[in-house]
Chains A and B, each alone.
Chain A
C-alpha cells in the first residue's frame, strides 16, 4: 500500500523552463513533507520541506506547494538547469510513526540544454 505516490516515473524539461514534480499521499495524518534529490551513485540529499500548517515554502529556485484538501504537493524548479537532472523523491512523516520517512518511488527529471 503506497501511502506516498509519485505517479510520473520520469519528466523531461528544457533548460530555463519550469519543472513541476507532483506527489500525492493517502494518509491524512502526515504533517510534514520533504523532497530529496538523488544523483546516481550518491545517497539522497535533502532539498526542501514543508509543514502542514503552511501551503508554500520557497528556497531559491525551489518552491514546494501543499494542497491538504487534495492531499497533493508539488515541487517547482524555476528556472530548471541541467544540473537539476536527478531523481526526486517525495517523503512524508507524522508524529504517530515516530517520524519515520515514508517515501514515494521517485521521479527522474531530465533537464535538456
Chain B
C-alpha cells in the first residue's frame, strides 16, 4: 500500500506570494491533518479534515487555509507569505478522525522557504 505523498517536496517563494501544498493520504484513509514544523516551535497542528469537512483547527492566522476533496486528497494554502512561514509542512493521514485516536501516518513533508 502506498504511503502518504506530498507535493512538491521543496518550494521557494517570496514574501507576499501565495502557495498551495498537496497531500494524498493512504488509500482508504479519510482523515488528513496538517502540521507546521519549525526548529523552535516543533510540530504545530494546523487543521484536520475528515470526509471533506474541517473538524479541528489550530492557532494559526486566517492566511492558512485548507480543503479536502471527495477522494480524501487535501490541499493547504498559505496566502500573503511571510518570512516566518518558512518551515516543513507535514501531512498525516489516518483511517478515522483524530478523535478516534487512530494512528497517524506522515508524509515526507514539503520544505517551504520564503525569501
Q: How large is the interface on A (under 10, 10 to 19, 20 to 34, 35 or more residues)?
A: 20 to 34
Contact B107 A100 (CB under 8 A): no
Interface membership of B15, Cβ < 8 A: no
Number of interface residues of B (CB under 8 A): 25
Please name the residue on chain A nearest to B42 by beta carbon: A105
Interface membership of A41, Cβ < 8 A: yes
Cα of A46 to Cα of B102 in the assembled complex, Å: 11
What residues on B are CB-neighbors of A105 within 8 Å? 41-42
**Chain B interfacial positions (CB closer than 8 Å to A):** 4, 41-45, 48, 55-56, 58, 90-92, 97-101, 103-109
Across the A-B interface, the 10 shortest Cβ-Cβ residue pairs: A43-B106, A103-B43, A105-B42, A98-B99, A99-B98, A44-B106, A99-B99, A100-B45, A103-B42, A46-B103
Q: A43-B90, A45-B106, A98-B48 are in contact. List 11 more A-B contacts (CB 8 A).
A: A44-B43, A44-B90, A46-B103, A89-B43, A93-B98, A98-B55, A99-B100, A100-B48, A100-B98, A101-B45, A105-B42
